[in-house]
């Protein structure tokens, strides 16, 4: 099977560099344009189903894309949600550094060993998201499918495919509305075909989106 992993379009909190986690932020104007820009590179491909995180920014991206691909069904899966960022949701880096110094130190040095105060750890995120991917694979073994998700969620999935430890997750970048494509072959397991593709985001709709976690 072929599985497109797409990150949602931009939100105001992305621009403000606030930790979104499971806070339900909608797409902004640029985010809507980015979602529409996902349609041309995927149009004409034999995609059968679009999956999405249940969070608004992913659902809106998925709905815009699915409508643009001829009204494909969108199926929500809460396991595709972003890392639950607990007590730091809505904060910017300076606030986290001041209020959660111990967490921030571990997060910057060994993110795979850190637990967000009041939230999740990356291993927990990876486990639930990977379970969703495997279920999608089993449900659509010979199909081409889309899953719209989030920065850290997709990053941990790509780490799994590449065999990277989660402490190395910053080697992978994920911009807003980026395209990733992974393929499952029983003889080879999962492989990455495309990662963080951005060519479709022209005309000034590429988010700067420097990594801040």
Whole-number pLDDT of residue 205: 75
Write down all domains in the chain, each with its CATH number in brackets.
2-179 (3.40.50.1240)
200 is known as an active-site residue = no
d(CA 165, CA 186): 23
pTM here is: 0.96
Residues with Cβ < 8 Å from 52, sequence gap 6 or more?
A: 58, 59, 61, 62, 63, 74, 75, 76, 77, 80, 147, 148, 149
Whole-number pLDDT of residue 209: 54
- Where does the chain have alpha helices with state H? 12-16, 29-37, 39-42, 56-68, 93-99, 101-109, 122-139, 151-162
Whole-number pLDDT of residue 206: 72
Residue-wise DSSP of 90-145: T--HHHHHHH-HHHHHHHHH-GGG-B-TTS-BHHHHHHHHHHHHHHHHHHSTTSEE
pLDDT per position in the chain (213 positions), as tens?
A: 999 999 999 999 999 999 999 999 999 999 999 999 999 999 999 999 999 999 999 999 999 999 999 999 999 999 999 999 999 999 999 999 999 999 999 999 999 999 999 999 999 999 999 999 999 999 999 999 999 999 999 999 999 999 999 999 999 999 999 999 999 999 999 999 999 999 999 866 776 655 556
8, 100, 150, 200: the catalytic one is 8
d(CA 131, CA 82): 14
Whole-number pLDDT of residue 87: 98
CA angle at residue 108 from 163 to 30, to 5 degrees? 85
d(CA 186, CA 195): 21
pLDDT digits (tens, 9 = 90+) for 147-167: 999 999 999 999 999 999 999
> Which two three-digit tokens encode residue 154?
């997709």
124 is known as an active-site residue = no
Contact criterion met (CB below 8 Å) for 157 and 133:
yes
> Which two three-digit tokens encode residue 207?
């988010």
Whole-number pLDDT of residue 202: 81
60, 82, 89, 120: the catalytic one is 82
């Amino acid at each position: 099977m072929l599985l497109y992993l797409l990150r949602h379009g931009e939100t105001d909190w992305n621009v403000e560099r606030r930790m979104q986690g499971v806070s339900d932020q909608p797409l902004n104007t640029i985010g809507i344009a980015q979602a529409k820009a996902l349609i041309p590179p995927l149009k004409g491909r034999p995609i059968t189903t679009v999956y999405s995180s249940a969070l608004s920014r992913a659902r809106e991206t998925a709905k815009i894309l699915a409508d643009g691909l001829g009204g494909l069904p969108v199926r929500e899966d809460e396991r595709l949600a972003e890392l639950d960022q607990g007590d730091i949701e809505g904060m910017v880096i300076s606030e986290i550094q001041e209020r959660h110094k111990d967490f921030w130190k571990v997060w910057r040095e060994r993110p795979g060993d850190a637990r967000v105060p009041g939230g999740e750890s990356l291993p927990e995120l990876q486990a639930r998201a990977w379970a969703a991917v495997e279920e999608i694979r089993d449900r659509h073994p010979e199909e081409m499918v889309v899953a719209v998700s989030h920065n850290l969620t997709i990053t941990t999935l790509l780490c799994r495919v590449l065999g990277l430890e989660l402490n190395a997750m910053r080697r992978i970048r994920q911009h807003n509305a980026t395209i990733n494509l992974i393929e499952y072959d029983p003889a080879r397991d999962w492989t990455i075909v495309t990662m963080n593709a951005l060519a479709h985001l022209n005309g000034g709709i590429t988010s700067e989106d420097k990594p801040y976690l």
